[in-house]
Chain A
Amino acid sequence: MKDVAVIGAGMTLFRRRLKETGKELSFLAAKMALEEAGIQKSDLDMVVMGSAPDAFDGIHMKGENLIDGAAAAGKPYVRVFNGGGTGVFAPIAGWWHVASGVADIVMVVCEEKMGSCYPHPQTAFRHIWDPIIDRPLNPNLIWLFAMEMNRYMTVYNIKKEDIARVAVKNKRNAVGHPCAQLADPNITIDDVLNSEVMAWPVQRLDVSPPSDGASALIYCSKDKVHQFTDDPIWVDGVGWGIDSTMWTNRDLCFPRYVATAAKMAYKMAGITNPPKDIDFAEPYDPFDYKELHHMEGLLLCKKGEAPILTREGVTQRDGDLPICPSGGLLGVGNPIAATMGQKVCEVYWQLAGKAGKRQIPGDPRVGVGQAWGDIMQMATVIVLRR
C-alpha cells in the first residue's frame, strides 16, 4: 500500500437552509480545498463523492447530479454512501484510490441538502425503517436514538446532566468555527435539561440540527506530496464495520461495530493503547450521548466511563483528551455526509496547526475521526498523523 497524505480541505457555511444548489455547494467546498492545496481541477486524477440518503435532496441517484460541482466531469468518479457513516466513509474510499496506486491526487467531496425536504427531513427518514415490522407503528427516527440513549443511561447508571455536558462543550467549542450553525458561548447544562422534550430522554438541545452544507478533502500520494508541502499530514489507518440490521436483537448499550471499525484502523496505524496513543478525537455526535457512546466504542475509555471523563474536563479542548474540538455536529451542524468537515477536515487542520481559535494546545500528533449511521449499525474510523 502507498502512503497517503492530506494536502487541502474546505467546507461551506452550515445552515438549516442554504440558497445555493447541491452542485453549487459542492463547488464552493471543493474550490476552498483546491485553493489550500494550491492545485486546479486538471491536477485531480479522480474524485469521490459522499452523499447520504437521496430522499433529502429529492434527487434519486444524486451522485450523478452532483458530478459537475465536485470537479468530476470527465474524470473517474464514484459516489459512496452508508447513511451517517458517509462523512468518514467517503474519505476512506478516497484513501484507497491513492493507497492502491490507481491514482496520485484524489479529491473527496461530501454534500447534503436536508432543507429541501418538506415539511421536515424527518419525513424522509420514515423511509429507512423496515417496512414489515417497524413502519406500521408509524415511527419517528428520534425514537431510535431515544431508545438507545435510555438503554445506555440505564445500563451504566448515567445521569442526564452528565450527558448534557457534551452539548454544552460542543456548542461552546463551535464558537471559533466560521461555518457553525449552533455555536453558543453562554449555553449551560440547565438550558439543555430545560429544553423541550422531543422523545424522552432526548430533548431539543441534546440533538444536532438538520443542515445544508458541503465539505472537501484532497489527498496526494507519497510520491508526489513533496511538490505541495514539507509537512504532510498522513492517513495512518482506516476501518469500517457494520452489524445486523435487526437492531431489536442486539443490546444497544455498547456499539460493538464501532469497536470493530476502530480495531481495524488502530491495527493499521500501530495504535496499541488508544487513550495514550491518540491525542484527540472527533467521534460522531449527532446527539450528545452519541459522543460518549462512541468514545467507548472507539476504546478511548472503559464502558460507562466517558461521562465521568467529560464531567472531569478531560474532553475539553485544553484537557488531556480533547473530544470534538471543532464543535462537532451539535455545534457546527449536521449535513449528514458533509460532516466530513468536522470529522476529517478538522482533524487535518488541527494536526497541521491551522485550526486558529479552535487549535488544541500541546502540539497534537495523532487524531481520530469517526462517523456512524444506518440503523444504529455502521461505523467508519480514520486515523491521521503528523
Chain B
Amino acid sequence: MTEKKEQKESYPKYAPGTHVHDKDIYERKITYTWWEPEVQYSWSLGPAMSRFLQELKAGKIIGIKCNRCRRVIVPPRMFCEYCYGPTSDWVYLKDTGTVETFSLSYLDADARRIEEPILIGVISIDGASPKHGFMHYFGEMKPEELKIGMKVKAVWKPENEREGSITDIKYFKPFRGGEE
C-alpha cells in the first residue's frame, strides 16, 4: 500500500497560466481592451426605511417592534425576518448606544491609503433589543480611546443641513453619565 502511494505523482501536476503585472498593461506590453461603465441608480426606499430616514431628518432614531418575538428592531423593516410576520408598532429609540465593535481604517472606499484613520463601528442603540443597531462613524475622541462596550451618543448635523440620510448623524461621540 505504501509503495503504491510513493509511485503516485504530486497533484496538481503543473500550474498552467501566464502571470502579468500592472505595468505590463500601463506600458502596453500586452494586448488588452478597456471599458469604463457609466451607470446610475436611484432606489425608492419603501415604507420602513423611508420612515426611518424621515425621522433622522427630524433628529430622531426610530425602530419597530415584532409582536411575535418581541424584538425592537433597528434599522426597521416591514416584516420580521425570523418570525416572518409583519412588524407593527413604531418605537422611538434614544440617540445613545454601545459600541459593539469598531475598526480604525487607513483605507478609503477604493482601498487607497489615508493618513488619518476613519473611526467606524457598529453601535447598538439604547431602547432597541440587544445587539440591534447600525454602522456609523465615531468622532470627538482619539483612536486609542475607542473601546468595545463604550457608551456613545449621536452628534447630529444642524437641522437645516439634514436631508433624510444616515449621514444626518455626523458621528457618535463618547457619552458620559449625566450629559445631555
Listed in ascending order, the chain A residues whose CB lies under 8 Å from chain B are: 9-13, 15-20, 25, 28-29, 31-32, 36, 58, 119-120, 122-123, 126, 131-134, 136-140, 142-143, 146-148, 150-151, 154, 178-179, 196-202, 212-213, 244, 246, 248-252, 341, 345, 349, 352-357
Quote the shortest CB–CB distance from B178 to chain A (angstroms): 27
Tell me the count of chain B residues lying within 8 A, CB to CB, of chain A: 58
Chain B residues positioned under 8 Å from A251 (CB to CB): 100, 131
Across the interface, B10 reaches (CB within 8 A) one of A29, A36, A248, A356, namely A356
A13 touches B9 (CB 8 A): no
A137 touches B111 (CB 8 A): no
Chain B residues positioned under 8 Å from A198 (CB to CB): 105-107
B16 touches A142 (CB 8 A): no
Residue of B at shortest CB range from A201? B103
Given A140-B108, A354-B10, A199 contacting B103 (CB threshold 8 A): yes
Chain A at the B interface: SS class: mixed
B148 touches A151 (CB 8 A): yes
Residue of A at shortest CB range from B13? A32
Residue of A at shortest CB range from B119? A200
B105 touches A151 (CB 8 A): no
Interface status of B120 (Cβ within 8 A of chain A): yes
Query: Restricting to B1-32, which residues have a CB under 8 Å from any CB of A?
Result: 5, 8-22, 25, 30
Chain B residues positioned under 8 Å from A249 (CB to CB): 73, 131-133
Across the interface, A200 reaches (CB within 8 A) one of B10, B22, B104, namely B104
Query: Restricting to B104-144, which residues have a CB under 8 Å from any CB of A?
Result: 104-112, 117, 120-122, 131-137
In the bound complex, CA of A196 to CA of B117 (Å): 13
A32 touches B22 (CB 8 A): no
Across the interface, A17 reaches (CB within 8 A) one of B22, B41, B81, B111, namely B22
A10 touches B18 (CB 8 A): no
Chain A residues positioned under 8 Å from B109 (CB to CB): 122-123, 126, 138-140
Mask of B59-101 contacts with A, CB within 8 angstroms, 1/0: 0000000000000010101000110000000000000000011
Quote the shortest CB–CB distance from B97 to chain A (angstroms): 11
Residue of A at shortest CB range from B73? A249
Chain A residues positioned under 8 Å from B49 (CB to CB): 132-133
The 3 closest A-B pairs by CB, nearest first: A356-B10, A146-B103, A13-B17
A-B pairs with beta carbons under 8 A, tally: 185
In the bound complex, CA of A250 to CA of B134 (Å): 11
Across the interface, B148 reaches (CB within 8 A) one of A123, A126, A150, A197, namely A150
Interface core residue of A147, A178, A251 (most chain B CB under 10 Å): A147
Quote the shortest CB–CB distance from B64 to chain A (angstroms): 12
Q: Beyond A12-B17, A196-B106, A353-B8, list 18 extra A-B contacts (CB 8 Å).
A: A17-B20, A29-B16, A32-B14, A119-B110, A132-B43, A139-B109, A140-B111, A142-B111, A143-B120, A143-B135, A150-B103, A151-B101, A178-B12, A197-B104, A246-B75, A246-B77, A248-B132, A354-B10
A197 touches B106 (CB 8 A): yes
A133 touches B5 (CB 8 A): no
Residue of B at shortest CB range from A17? B20
In the bound complex, CA of A141 to CA of B138 (Å): 18
B18 touches A18 (CB 8 A): yes
B137 touches A354 (CB 8 A): no
Quote the shortest CB–CB distance from B147 to chain A (angstroms): 9
In the bound complex, CA of A122 to CA of B107 (Å): 10
Chain B residues positioned under 8 Å from A13 (CB to CB): 15-19
B110 touches A122 (CB 8 A): yes
In the bound complex, CA of A242 to CA of B66 (Å): 21
Mask of B162-178 contacts with A, CB within 8 angstroms, 1/0: 00011100000000000
Given A199-B105, A246-B75, A137 contacting B167 (CB threshold 8 A): yes
Chain A residues positioned under 8 Å from B108 (CB to CB): 138, 140
12 A-B pairs with CB atoms under 8 Å apart are A9-B12, A13-B17, A13-B18, A15-B19, A20-B17, A120-B111, A123-B110, A140-B105, A147-B122, A244-B82, A354-B9, A357-B10
B81 touches A246 (CB 8 A): yes
Quote the shortest CB–CB distance from A204 to chain B (angstroms): 10
Residue of A at shortest CB range from B109? A138
Chain B residues positioned under 8 Å from A212 (CB to CB): 17
In the bound complex, CA of A172 to CA of B35 (Å): 38
Across the interface, B100 reaches (CB within 8 A) one of A119, A151, A179, namely A151
